[in-house]
Structure formats: structure tokens, C-alpha cells
Amino acid sequence: MTFRATILTLYPEMFPGHLALSLAGKALERGQWALDTVQIRDFAQDRHRTVDDTPAGGGAGMVLKPDILAKAIDNVSDGDNRPRLLMSPRGNPLTQEKVRELAAGGGVVIVCGRFEGVDQRVIDGRNLEEVSIGDYVLSGGEPAALTLLDAVVRILPGVMGNALSGTHESFENGLLEHPQYTRPQVFEGREIPAVLTSGNHAAIEKWRLEEAERLTRTRRPDLLAGKTHPVTK
């Protein structure tokens, strides 16, 4: 089953963006995943193709109209059981767990907001799951959708050249990744830790786990809270 992403946006020209390059781009060319975009404005009914209106209750900015967006969504996802996401700074934070869950499914429909956001009634009426990529505000959902897709596509079967290269990564085991080194042996007076060139695989694994735990404790103690990890017991 090919993973298929459908993006609803006012800026379809922003896709596939960087996902046309590197491993994701090659996988797209090979048909290992598919991407299509829907121009929300195509569902506007007036001659100015209006998609937004002033916020009820007053205030700055504009809000994406529910009737137009609902039509765009219905056009895509009638009889389609892919999850429907709305990129939104108010949403559930995107995590590697969520990325894995999405990658295991058949695809995703993503609505990209603009302006002050989207009328709440279309979020409720079309069961849009709000997903945030971080505690900051972007000008539109498109870079957020590209970020989410980047994370999902790279773990689709066959997309990463070396299947093992994902297994020790940050968040895969609830820890940040250990430091990485490569040649030369000495760089500007700094040496690769001796254990990594010892050939002792058990010692290397132990070092990596300890370093991962140390970094996680220092930088992201929230990841360890409430979890029992082999090293942290």
C-alpha cells in the first residue's frame, strides 16, 4: 500500500518543496509515497474567489470560511478513511510516536491554515485533528505540513537507504541520541572517544546508552519523567 498525502492549501506551489530532493524525492519518484495538493480557493463561489472573512466578535486578521473549507475537505475525503489533520499551533505536539503511527497507515489528509486560522465549526464538523510542530507561530500550515511529512516519509519502508540507520535515533527509545563521530581520528585537537574505536561492541553499546541518558537528563528531563529505562532504573 502506497502512503498517500493530500494537502489542502492556498499555496499548492509550496509542495513538494524540499521533499522533491534527497531520499524523500527519490522515493516520491519511485512511487514509494504519493503527494497531491488541493487548492482551497477552487471551492470558493463568488467571482473574487473569497476564502476568508472577518472574525466574529471583532479583532485583527481574517478567518478561513467554514463552507469553502468543508467543500474542499468533502471533495477529497468522502469515503476516504485517512486521518484528517489540521496544522495548528493549538494542536497536540507532533511526536515521533505520532509520526510512527501515521507512517503505519495508508496516508493522511492535511489542512494548512492561514490568516488567524480556521472557523471552529469546520474543525468540529469534519473531525480535524489539530497537530502542532512546536510552540511558535508560523504564518501558514504549509511549512508545518512539510515538516510532518518529512518525518513520516523518511521512516516509510524502503525510503532510507540503510534500514538500520533509524534504530538508535533520538526519541526512538525515549532518549535523545548519543553523540556521533567520524574520521579524522583527531580534529582540531579533539579525539574520538577511545571506546568507539576499541572494537568492543558491548562497551560501545553501553557507552552510547549512557551518553544518550546523560544528554536526555541534561537537556530533556521531561522525556524521562515517569519512564523506566534500562539505564535509569
**CB hemisphere CA count around 47 (13 angstroms):** 0
Segment near ligand SAM (CB under 6 A), from 38-46, 134-142, 169-177, 221-229? 134-142
Quick one: 32 or 147, whose CB is closer to ligand SAM?
147
CA 137 to chain centre: 16
Dihedral of alpha carbons 37, 42, 48, 53, sign: negative
Q: 76 is written with which cell numbers?
A: 477529497
By CB under 6 A, tell whether 53 contacts ligand SAM: no
By CB under 6 A, tell whether 132 contacts ligand SAM: yes
Segment near ligand SAM (CB under 6 A), from 17-25, 35-43, 48-56, 112-120? 112-120
By CB under 6 A, tell whether 179 contacts ligand SAM: no
Q: Which of 106, 125, 134, 193 binds ligand SAM (CB under 6 A)?
A: 134
Judging by beta carbons within 10 Å of its beta carbon (0-12, 13-18, 19+), is residue 4 exposed, middle or buried? Answer: middle
β-pairing, 186-187 vs 63-64, is unpaired
**Which whole-number Å values give the CA distances from 57 to 61, 62, 90, in the listed order?**
12, 12, 20
As measured in angstroms, the least distance from the Cβ of 165 to ligand SAM is: 27
Segment near ligand SAM (CB under 6 A), from 108-116, 165-173, 191-199, 220-228? 108-116
As measured in angstroms, the least distance from the Cβ of 209 to ligand SAM is: 32
String of contacts with ligand SAM for each residue 69-88, x by CB under 6 A: ------------------xx
Instruction: Enumerate residues 6+ apart whose C-beta is below 8 A from 26.
Output: none
Footprint of ligand SAM on 136-165 (CB under 6 A): 136-141, 144
Q: Which of 26, 30, 90, 121 binds ligand SAM (CB under 6 A)?
A: 90
Dihedral angle computed from the Cα positions of residues 34, 39, 40 and 42, in that order, rounded to the nearest 10 degrees? -130
Given the rule CB under 6 A, which residues bind ligand SAM? 87-90, 112-114, 116-118, 132-134, 136-141, 144
